[in-house]
Amino acid sequence: MAFSDSFRHSYQMDIEGIKAAGLFKQERYIHSPQSSEIEVEFPSGSAVRRCINICSNNYLGLSSHPEVIAAAHAGLDSRGYGMSSVRFICGTQDMHRELENRLTQFLGTEDTLLFPSCMDANAGFFEACLNERDVMIADRLVHASMVDGMRLCKAMQDTYKHSDMGHLEEKLQEHQDKRFRMVITDGVFSMDGDTAKLADIVALAEKYNAMVFLDDSHATGFIGKTGRGTHEHCGVLGQIDVITTTLGKALGGASGGCVSGRRELVEMCRQRARPYLFSNAVAPVIVAGALKVLDLISASTDRRDKLEWNATYWRGLLKQAGFDIKEGDTPIVPVMLYDAKLAQDMARDLFDEGVYAVGFFFPVVPKGQARIRTQLSAAHEKHHLDTALEAFKKVGKKHGILGLGRKELMARCAA
Ligand SMILES: *Cc1c(COP(=O)(O)O)cnc(C)c1O
């Protein structure tokens, strides 16, 4: 027997350890399409109940939009279910290229290459474009997918303190002896909802002859006046060398990602990026849906405008009620609790009150930084937010945290 009792016992002990630490993650089964209200079974086997969803990346409410669904149906009918191939063998349809061109236009870049996911785009990019003569200088809070991508690349790795431009400048000076320098950042940081100082980063990159890499997964489609992303918001459209982003959040939420940027960098990915070469093409049904998403968001900014209104309104409500939230101006609004177990308990109580939100704790955020990350959507109506607030207030009161500041909350967490 290969999986001997001692193997099993060892893993069981690990799992028990995760449970004992209050860090065990459990899936909730959703019985409906993704939306502002969903039908949820939790815990497994219990009755399905309807609740307000305030933790999805469905920023523009397009995950179940009738026109997107219709376009996806049409794509399914005209181009079939799957490609059964990677892109370079027999997995590229004209639609893939059309979507790449449309993304290039939308993002204001030179060229784009689709990947099975943004995780894959980040896993493949660095190794394809940098080598041991180069250095990657990353913000300390970049998403895990960039951390993994950098691990796969032979270039030297360095970091700068989160959004600390002085520290970044020191690092750029320190690495002038390298062939290439690449500064690596998220546009909107997924756990804190703050925005990279992209104009400053671009200026430093110019001064010290470096390239800029931006993962804009939590911004593409809704940050910036016309939703192009953090580079639009910061006034540096056309000045970012590489943008990676996902189709799995605001842009319909199915799956897929891309590398978009300087022509030669994109071509290097087409030649060398391993997730592009060795993983299946994005399915035609998703490509067709994503094309429709780009039509919708290019024709009108109504959705991103509504999202912005919702985010501002929700931030105001939470603050007024006495929650400790992270400042920012994005639709990611973290309610800080610091203690992992408290975050878990509050999420469970919120669910009982008909609000679906999830506690985040180590390793998704640093130890002692646990939180409930709320996220707004253009699919939320004002009444959703008002109802959700009542639940937050009730649960906050139960746990005695309303009106407590950061220090007081952290003291409680240590006790
Ligand atoms: C969600 C996310 C990803 C992963 O995107 P997928 O397309 O789901 O793989 C990558 N980077 C960042 C910053 C993200 O937030």
- Which residue, 194, 195, 190, 193, is CA-closest to 233? 195
C-alpha–C-alpha distance, residues 350 and 362, integer Å: 21
Quote the ligand 1 centre to 182 CA distance (angstroms): 20
Cα radius of gyration (the chain):
22
What pLDDT is recorded for position 26? 85
Quote the ligand 1 centre to 294 CA distance (angstroms): 19
What is the fold, at CATH topology level, of the domain defined by 66-299? Aspartate Aminotransferase; domain 2 (3.40.640)
C-alpha–C-alpha distance, residues 297 and 305, integer Å: 11
Residue 256 CA, closest ligand 1 atom number: 7
Residue pair 395/349 in contact (Cβ under 8 Å)? The answer is yes
10 Å Cβ neighbour count for 183? 25
pLDDT under 70 in the chain at which residues? 1, 414-415
Residue type, 140: R
- Atom 5 (ligand 1) nearest CA: 118
User: What DSSP designation does 47 have?
Assistant: P
Residue 120 CA, closest ligand 1 atom number: 9
Residue 115 CA, closest ligand 1 atom number: 7
Tokens of 308: 């912005």
Structural domain boundaries in the chain? 28-57+301-414, 66-299
What pLDDT is recorded for position 414? 61
C-alpha–C-alpha distance, residues 247 and 114, integer Å: 10
What pLDDT is recorded for position 24? 83
User: Measured from the CB, is residue 139 less than 6 Å from ligand 1?
Assistant: no
The arrangement of secondary structure in 28-57+301-414, i.e. its CATH architecture, is Alpha-Beta Complex (3.90)
45 phi and psi angles, rounded to 5 deg = 95, -15
User: Measured from the CB, is residue 191 less than 6 Å from ligand 1?
Assistant: no
Cα dihedral sign, 349-355-356-357: negative
Residue pair 134/182 in contact (Cβ under 8 Å)? The answer is yes
Quote the ligand 1 centre to 281 CA distance (angstroms): 17
What pLDDT is recorded for position 58? 98
User: What DSSP designation does 325 have?
Assistant: B
**Catalytic positions:** 190, 218, 249
Q: For ligand 1, pick from 59, 214, 222, 249 the residue to mutate: most ligand atoms within 8 Å of CB.
A: 249
Residue 257 CA, closest ligand 1 atom number: 7
What pLDDT is recorded for position 362? 86
User: What DSSP designation does 359 have?
Assistant: E
Quote the ligand 1 centre to 214 CA distance (angstroms): 12
Residue pair 371/406 in contact (Cβ under 8 Å)? The answer is no
Q: CA-based angle 254:127:164, to the nearest 5?
A: 80
User: Measured from the CB, is residue 190 less than 6 Å from ligand 1?
Assistant: yes
C-alpha–C-alpha distance, residues 375 and 381, integer Å: 13
**For the chain, what is the total number of helices (H) and then of strands (E)?**
15, 14
- Atom 14 (ligand 1) nearest CA: 217
Tokens of 311: 């985010």
Quote the ligand 1 centre to 246 CA distance (angstroms): 6
